[in-house]
Amino acid sequence: MVKPAKKTPAPKPAPILRPTSGLLSGPGRTAALAAIVFAAFVAGTVAIYWRVEQHLRSSADYTVTIDKITITPPPDWIRRDIRAEAFRTASSPDRPLSILDDDVAQRIATAFRLHPWVSDVKVEKRAAARVNVEIIYRRPACVVEIDQDLKPVDKEGVLLPSEDFSPIQKQALPCLSGIGKSPMGAVGLRWGDTRVVDGAGIASALGNVWQQLKLFRIQLAQQTPATAGVLTYELYTRSGTCIYWGYPIANAPPGEPSAEEKVARLVQYANSHGGLDGPQGIDVHSLPQVIKAAPK
């Protein structure tokens, strides 16, 4: 008798995953759904904010243009357009200045500080994308005679743009001679020589009376046993009379008259003698002390 063939059992169907499995099932389902919804909301909000911010940054209402920058009026001795030059440094076509940028004040301040005529700066943002810039400008103190050229510096020995001075303007400034060393840095940086700082400081102290006293140049004095190892300075009138000034302002020893007192003594002597010129030189230390009138 032939036995009937056995039937192969049908495969069991794969289990169907229900939406209630995993994070969305059980007691944490509500919290998980809330987190997903919140994350989607935040992502959407950030995307919208980014698009709005980019639009505002490029909007004319928030763009800082050159006409919206106000600066301290430059003094008479500066004839170039400092605002325009600093603005070109701070802004560029691919990155214009926007009042919404966190670093816009820093960018503007840095651009002005890089200018050789600017000593210090303070930037303040204002409404309507306006910016106010308070500037302390450099003032020429003297020219340094080097390689048959006259290079202007301020009282701190910072090299100023030579092309901003005419030959007549350079000749009218006090002349510091005998340095023999070219500046180590570019325009807008310190010369890099203590003697230039010393001479510029002396010239700055005499600035208001330099022409009145008919002074011409400043130079290092020859060292004596009393001044061995230190730098002292002399002044010369246009007629060649030598005035011994002595120690520089920054390194004056105890008992040395102040720069203000030295200038007052020279003015008093010039008023009494019709000038500083004479057959013999003058030592400012030997001149009578100036007695100031008591305030009323």
Domain ranges of the chain: 66-137, 140-286
Model pLDDT for residues 130-153, shown as the tens digit of each residue: 999 999 999 999 999 998 899 999
CA distances from 101 to 130, 132, 133 (A): 13, 16, 17
Contacts of 250 (CB under 8 A, 6+ apart): 197, 198, 201
What is the per-residue pLDDT for 230? 82
In this structure, which long-range contacts are made by residues 102-110, counting pairs with CB atoms below 8 Å and at least 24 apart in sequence? 104/64, 104/131, 105/131, 108/64, 108/69, 108/133, 109/133
What is the per-residue pLDDT for 132? 97
Tokens, residue 208 = 């208001």
What is the per-residue pLDDT for 226? 67
**66-137 CATH pick, 3.40.1190.20, 3.30.160.20, 3.40.1710.10, 3.10.20.310:** 3.10.20.310
Nearest to 107 by CA among 92, 128, 93: 92
SS3 82: helix
What is the per-residue pLDDT for 20? 46
What is the per-residue pLDDT for 165? 96
Residues 93-106 as b/e (b if ≥16 CB within 10 A, e otherwise) read eeeebbbeeeebbe
What is the distance in angstroms between the CA of the first residue and the CA of the last residue of the chain?
149
What is the per-residue pLDDT for 48? 47
Give yes or no for a contact between 153 and 165, defined as CB atoms under 8 angstroms apart. no
Whole-prediction pTM value? 0.75
Q: What is the pLDDT along the chain (296 residues), one digit of tens a residue?
A: 455 555 555 556 555 545 544 555 556 667 666 666 666 555 555 444 445 445 444 556 789 999 999 999 999 999 999 999 999 999 987 788 999 998 999 999 999 999 999 999 999 998 888 999 999 999 999 999 998 899 999 999 999 999 999 999 999 999 999 998 899 989 999 999 999 999 999 999 999 999 999 999 999 998 777 667 789 999 999 999 999 999 998 888 899 999 999 999 999 999 999 999 988 899 999 999 987 755 55
What is the per-residue pLDDT for 199? 97
Tokens, residue 200 = 């510029």
**Neighbour-count burial of 15, counting CB atoms closer than 10 A to its CB (0-12 exposed, 13-18 middle, 19+ buried):** exposed
Give 258's Cβ-side CA count (13 Å radius): 4
Q: How far apart are CA 208 and CA 216, in angstroms?
A: 14
What is the per-residue pLDDT for 52? 46
Instruction: Kindly write down the DSSP assignment for every residue of 242-260, as one continuous string.
Output: EEEEES-GGGPPTTPPPHH
